[in-house]
Amino acid sequence: MQPRLGRLLLMATGVFSQGRAKISERTLRTDKWWIQPLITVGVLLSFIVYATWRAFEGAHYYAEPLISPFYSPCLSTTCVEGSSLLGTPFGHIVIFGMVLSPAFIILIFPLGFRMTCYYYRKAYFRSFWMSPPACAVAEPHAKYTGETKAPLIVNNGHRYFFYIGLVFNTLLTIDALLAFKNPQGQWGHMSIGTVVLLLNATFLWGYSASCHSCRHAIGGRLRHFSKHPFRYKAWTVVSRLNQKHQNFAWVSLIWVAFSDFFVRMVSLHPTWNKYFF
Amino acid sequence: MARTLKLRIWRGDDKTGGLQDVTVEANHGEVVLDIIHRVQATQMGDLAVRWNCKAGKCGSCSMEINGKPRLACMTQVAAYPEDETITITPLRAFPVIKDLVTDVSFNFKKAMEIPSLQMPEGLKPGEPRMQQVDVERSQEFRKCIECFLCQNTCHVIRDHEENKKSFAGPRFFIRIAELDMHPLDMLRNRKKTAQEEHGLGLCNITKCCTEVCPEHIKITDNAIIPMKERVADEKYDPIRWLGSKIRRREEVL
Ligand code: SF4
Ligand code: SF4
Ligand code: FES
Ligand code: FES
């Protein structure tokens, strides 16, 4: 018994606390509660692995006129010609003997936006951190302080990432509009790539518009809706979108990765980008 | 009798206890509370269970059925496959008194820690006027039947007894939100106290409270997240913070 004492002490909290019904299982749920977190881990991990590889690759992100959303705006002098919409304020940066890929300069913003998103918080707290893995399934941690301490307290600043996200959405919309050019730079053409980038921008706007911080800023912070009829109206619209925030979160995430993949493919095989006109 | 049901019911008190097997008949259309009553009438005369309305409105019959926090009077027996043994236990976040009855006084203590509506001075009974659009949001929260299933499921206290002292729980976050959104409430520090005294920051918005609420109140989306945003206005938004220092008050909008 002795060696198990430590574990027992650790376990003597939560559902095993003194005074609560003596039940030895950490959950009595009979359904497959672990499937949801497993799928979430699977999808998020695949995205992380793919995005990391692509960010390190530092190539095949531009195939005139298409630019990968992972690399837009391209801000470094290492960017391939024609890909920098906003100029190149960053020079040739070398870290650990490797040239810094332009993706890393901007990565923090979309990453921070998603990491602090109220929906993704639920997703990763449940699946990666298992706190809790599913409802009424005891979590494995002995201590819990939620979002009251660093680093998780940063989640309270979600709105700032939301505002920066709007800038990114605007830039990616411009990228989609530029895709109405042909590789020779003439306007009035449309290809599969145009559709891919337009959908990408649309999903990202949907993701931002349905954001909880957006809902709050638009009207949620008011006490007297009756004094602000327009904001109230806007709030009801955002509230309706907000109910679909989870869907926007997944669709936009997957589509960003797909858009990048598509641009990579076109950069390797230009004929893949079929032009409709 | 339509079917024979296999059950495991937790019996015991705050010191000892365990699951006991029983077999009982069930009629078509019955709910788990009916079955518990039949067990009580025919086999376990001293089985303790709390209930009142049998209509999903009093919030008394909260328990855990196959590990899921639910109202026994709103849980159809037909939802479980014929060959499945249904396990019934008391709520696992609160101290047990006897069998399926737990001591939920934690929640009453938390309720008392929240100051009630503070009306504008000089307003006499019958005088207050409000627009429907201004009270709609709060009205959703008034549907609460105080079953405390959300409190019981919330991992912050279910899995961490030590957090009970510093955490009011989802049921009381909707109470705080209701008052903070109330057009006539004059108390101006609800956001600050929500974070500093009632433990709003401990919630990691994993939404189990919303999942179990029998009244389908969108606890997380409509109360907790809006409150977190309101707290951010007050405490974590440097620009707004500066604005409030200049104006020296919480904004009334
Ligand atoms: S969303 Fe927050 S309050 Fe609700 S169960 Fe989860 S941690 Fe508890
Ligand atoms: S909010 Fe819902 S789950 Fe919580 S006590 Fe009220 S009715 Fe029950
Ligand atoms: S982006 Fe998800 S809540 Fe803001
Ligand atoms: S007995 Fe009243 S809610 Fe179940």
Q: What angle do CA B66, B78, B150 make, to 5 degrees?
A: 40
How many angstroms separate the Cα of A240 from the Cα of each of A73, A135, A215, B65?
31, 26, 10, 33
Could you tell me the pTM of the whole model?
0.94
Please state the φ and ψ torsions of residue B242, each to the nearest 5 degrees. -60, -45
Does residue B223 line the site of ligand 2, with CB under 6 A? no
Nearest to A17 by CA among B67, B149, B163, B47: B163
Does residue B24 line the site of ligand 2, with CB under 6 A? no
Mean of pLDDT values over B88-114 = 98
Q: Do A28 and B64 touch (CB under 8 A)?
A: yes
Q: What is the pLDDT of residues A174-221, one digit of tens each?
A: 999 999 999 999 999 999 999 999 999 999 999 999 999 999 999 999
Mean of pLDDT values over B83-89 = 96
Nearest to B211 by CA among A206, A29, A216, A128: A29
**Which residue ranges form the domains of chain B, and what is each CATH number?**
3-102 (3.10.20.30), 105-247 (1.10.1060.10)
Q: Do B68 and A135 touch (CB under 8 A)?
A: yes
C-alpha span between A153 and A147 (Å, rounded) = 5
ipTM over 0.85: yes
How many angstroms separate the Cα of A75 from the Cα of each of A64, A67, A86, B154, B165?
17, 13, 7, 45, 50
Tell me which chain A residues have a C-beta less than 8 angstroms from the C-beta of B155: 131-132, 138-139, 144
Mean of pLDDT values over A108-135 = 96
pLDDT over 70 at B248, yes or no: no
Does residue B145 line the site of ligand 2, with CB under 6 A? yes
pLDDT at A81: 82
Q: Which of A58-62, B121-125, B159-163 has the lowest mean pLDDT?
A: B121-125
Mean of pLDDT values over A3-29 = 78
pLDDT at B235: 87
Q: Nearest residue CA, atom 3 of ligand 1?
A: B170
Atom of ligand 2 nearest to the CA of B213: 3
Q: Which of A25-29, A48-52, B92-96, B239-243 has the lowest mean pLDDT?
A: B239-243
C-alpha span between A201 and B141 (Å, rounded) = 36
Mean of pLDDT values over A76-99 = 83
Helix (H) or strand (E) holding B170: helix B170-180
pLDDT over 50 at A9, yes or no: no
User: Which pLDDT band, with edges at 50, 70 and 90, does B253 fall under?
Assistant: low
Is A59 part of the contact surface with chain B (CB cutoff 8 Å)? no
Q: Do B96 and A242 touch (CB under 8 A)?
A: no
Give residue A228 CA to ligand 3 midpoint distance, Å. Answer: 24
| Chain A residues 205-264 with a CB less than 8 Å from chain B | 212-213, 215-216, 220-226, 228, 232, 242-243
Considering only CB atoms, B236 lies closest to which of A145, A156, A232, namely: A156
How many angstroms separate the Cα of B170 from the Cα of each of A121, A157, B215?
17, 22, 13
Q: Check: CB of residue B54 under 8 Å from CB of residue B30.
A: no
Mean of pLDDT values over A136-159 = 93
One-letter amino acid at B165 equals K
pLDDT at A1: 35
Determine the residue of B54, B88, B101, B212 to mutate for testing ligand 4's pocket, defined as the one with the most ligand atoms within 8 A of the Cβ atom.
Answer: B54
Mean of pLDDT values over B189-205 = 96
One-letter amino acid at A130 equals M
Mean of pLDDT values over B62-83 = 96
Per the prediction, chain B carries an average pLDDT of 94
pLDDT over 80 at B251, yes or no: no
Report the DSSP pairing between strands A94-95 and B96-98: unpaired
Q: How many Cβ atoms from other residues are within 10 Å of residue A146's Cβ?
A: 22
Nearest to B161 by CA among A20, A149, A25, A26: A20
